[in-house]
Every structure is written in C-alpha cells, then in structure tokens.
A and B are shown apart, each in its own frame.
Chain A
C-alpha cells in the first residue's frame, strides 16, 4: 500500500454555527485519482481548500506529503498545483508572461524554455502575446491548465475542472490527467456528477450531508477510442 500523498483525517468544518463537512476521511496515494461528486453547496470547493491548506478546519487534519496542509513549507508547496473556478491569471499580462511568472515563482528548472511547448499543448500558441484580459472563458481555462501543469506538480487539486469546457477542452483535461497519473501524481477532482474517462481509473466518492462516502460503481474505462461520458443519475 502506497503512502498517501493527499490525506484527510476526521475533517470538520463549519461556517459559524453551520456545519459543512463532518468527519471527512480520505487517502489518495501516488498515481491515483479521487473524483469527488456532490451537489452545489455540498462542500466540494471547501474540501479542496482544506486539502490545499488555504482554509483551517474546525477539527481534524488535512495533510499533503505527510505534513499538515496548513503549515506546508515552501518546498512542499512547490510540488502542489491547484485549479479552481478562479484562473489565478493576471488580466493585464500576456499568456506567455503569466506562464513565465509562475515558472519563475515555482523555480521550475528550464521552466521558461518549456513555455512554448505548453502553449502549443493547450492550443494557445497564437494567443501567446495577447493579454489574458482579452481571452474567452475557455481560453482562460486552457491557460490555467498550462499554469498548473507547468510546475510539474506531484499533487493536483482540481475543483470542477470540467465545468464550462467544450468537448475539446474536456479532452485536453483528460489527456493532462492521464499524463499526470503516469508521472505518479496524486489527484483530487471534484464534479457535479460522476464522469468516466477511458484509460483512467477513479476512486469515486460523494459528499452527502457533509459526509464523504465512497460511491458505488467505480468507473473504469473501456478500450474504445478515447471517449468521455457523463453517467446520468
């Protein structure tokens, strides 16, 4: 059994007097993906923030790389990437400049040299010198993905990465996820409903009434050509 890179033990969080999550336990080892499903307001984004150490739980502990998320040191934070609804991009910088900024910030070895390759990967080469302010939502999403993957993370936390993406975009995310898993990344994804991706195994969970429960029917891909399907409920 691999040691878990992402862990939650007995996580509780409440906003004031209203509990959001209760007793959440989770362990995600390297090279595996946990897909967490829940309705709006169920606490998915909150859980991602807790795992990232951006929020403090009212009880329990979230940890990454075996250390508490809340007090991660600089070296550990270098190995973490987060993707949320917010793009983390500077509107008045160009696509290239944004990526350069993050490459420098995360001290990625040869980071700057790889930027053209990443831009091509996410299909933004022609927009490399355009300011992010002029981007469409979809373009922003793609650039955010490049930003997240550029830093070669070992832990990836993604809050609803499939939302507001077209079929190509979803395919891109799927490809990037497969690559990340191949690189032995530990990944947590959230979504509204379960998703299947060929070639990728998820550990499915759902948040119901603040509790995290494994969801039955683990999604395993078929050997058909690359196809993404949403399993209806």
Chain B
C-alpha cells in the first residue's frame, strides 16, 4: 500500500502544483461570470494572446518572462476594458445568446490574428527555470516552473481577494454584481464598472498567459483548450468564489495528472473533460458554490 502511495507522490504533487496554474487560468472567467454574468468564450484565446505579447516583449527586451508582466498586464487590462466597454456591454441584456456569440466571434478573430502574425509554429517562453527541478528532502523533485506557477496563482488570488474586500472599487464591483439596478441608484456607473472588472480579469489572464507560456508550448489554436479548462475550473469550483475556483483548479489538476498516470499521456485532457461533464450533469453550480 505504502509503495503504491509513494509511487503516486510525483503525480499527486505535480497535479496539485499544476492545479494552481489551472486555478489562475479560471479566475478571470470566474470573475466575469460572477460579475457581468457573461461567459467569455474568448477567455482561452486571450490568455494565449498574453503569452504571445510576452513573447514579443521578450524579443524586444532581453528579460525573463516574469518581468514582461510589467508590460503585458497593463496591455491586457486595456484590451479587456475596451472589449467590454465597446463590444460586450452593447449586447448585455439582449438575451443569453448574443453575448455568447459575440465572444465566440472574438475568439475566432483572436486565433486567426495570432495565426497570421505568428504562424502556426509552437512557441514557448524559455527561461532558465523551465527545466530546473527543486529537490525536497530526498524523496521528491519538483519542477521549479510548476512551483512558480503555484505561487504565482496563490499570490494573485490573495491580492484579488484583498482588492474585493478592502478597496472601495472592489466593493463597488461586488455591489454591481449583486444588484445592478440598486448599484446604479448608489451612483455607480455599472457599464464602466463592468469594463473595469473585465480589465482586471484580463490582468489575471496576462499572468496566466505568461505562466502558461513558461510551462507549456503554445500556438495560436491552444486557446480553446484553456477555455474548456477554465470553464471546468469555474464549474467544478463553484461560482462566485475565488477560493472555490482555486480549489477547482487543484481538483482538475490532480484529475488530469492522475488520469495521465493511469491511462497514458494521451488521456490527460480527457480526465479533465470527464470530470467537467459529470459536474455539469449533476451539480452545475459547482462543488463549492456560495449560496
């Protein structure tokens, strides 16, 4: 029994660490879903856009990928704000389908733009830590980049949590997501608030994009993979809960790595998909949903 467990220690550790990355992939979608009641079908592609932005920055300035965040985060925030304010705000409230379809259109546009500019070649954000491992005691070797992903995710989520609970703007955003009409009566310009929220969500996408680029290879069509993953994280973890999304990430990460371990590498994504389908069928509000 013990040897069975110790055989699993690598997949379990890797699964949890990777789960942190999945958590931050899902946070942006969770925010938008919770605040604006919109499922951003372009979320995955926007994360990959951030990866490419980081790549460009790295070719212009010889810095490590993490430093490119200085440029990529503001760039993505601005993009998010503009997309929400000028595009998505205009179809909010027109029913369930228009926002979905506009986001879908946006997803295709981003993918094909990236394809045109960058060609279909696989890319990666190379850094010295990409191949290093960190020994823990004598029984475990953690890939450093997974650890960085995990820490990056926790830090981001903690900062976001602080933002929503302690700052004036954060509270205004929560108010607007609770009751848009009442928020308007408080002097809150909800259209502008939604755009700010989307800008923030894209900020997290920026971080996710850089981390993803450091951990995996990417090319213009990887977006949808991360979309389904983000959706999985959000659904499994439950709506409206930052912590829940993080936990959802951990669960999916574990499921994927364990799935790959037992069934083979081709089935890594499959395990995640199956869990998503199961949760969607039986408890669509998620396992840790708030109220």
Chain B binds chain A: no
Report A's interface with B, CB cutoff 8 A: none
